[in-house]
Amino acid sequence: MTTRNVLLIALMAVTPYVAADTQTVTLNIPKMDCPICPVTVEAALNKVDGVSEVDADLDTRSATVSFDDSLTNIDELTTATANAGYPSTVIQ
């Protein structure tokens, strides 16, 4: 196989991952009230398939989440926080 063919195959294999659409949402999490709460929320959200980044902020009682919308959705994110004991809603 030529180098050109190998590169073409590699490019084709990576293309679906590049085409994935990343969304970012901010969740309001009013029950976050102690220094450990953001750690717990981040851990719960990071377990959701498709989540690429989470930043939970105790001061604003919110979490900003980046995720691949072909693998997960906002309902799964809010379910994950609720299951961890921190119900959340989307900040519009």
Question: Tens digit of pLDDT for each residue in 12-43?
Answer: 665 555 556 899 999 999 999 999 999 999 99
Q: How far apart are CA 64 and CA 24, in angstroms?
A: 7
The dotted CATH code for 20-90 is 3.30.70.100
Provide the pLDDT for residue 2.
72
Q: How far apart are CA 41 and CA 1, in angstroms?
A: 48
Summarised one tens digit per residue, pLDDT across range 38-90 is: 999 999 999 999 999 999 999 999 999 999 999 999 999 999 999 999 999 99
Provide the pLDDT for residue 92.
74
The domain segmentation of the chain, as residue ranges, is 20-90
Instruction: Please give the residue that has the higher pLDDT: either 2 or 17.
Output: 2
Contact, 32 vs 41, CB < 8 A?
yes
Is the Cα torsion angle 71, 73, 75, 76 positive or negative in sign?
Answer: positive
Q: How far apart are CA 3 and CA 91, in angstroms?
A: 49
Q: Taking the complete model, does pTM exceed 0.75, yes or no?
A: yes
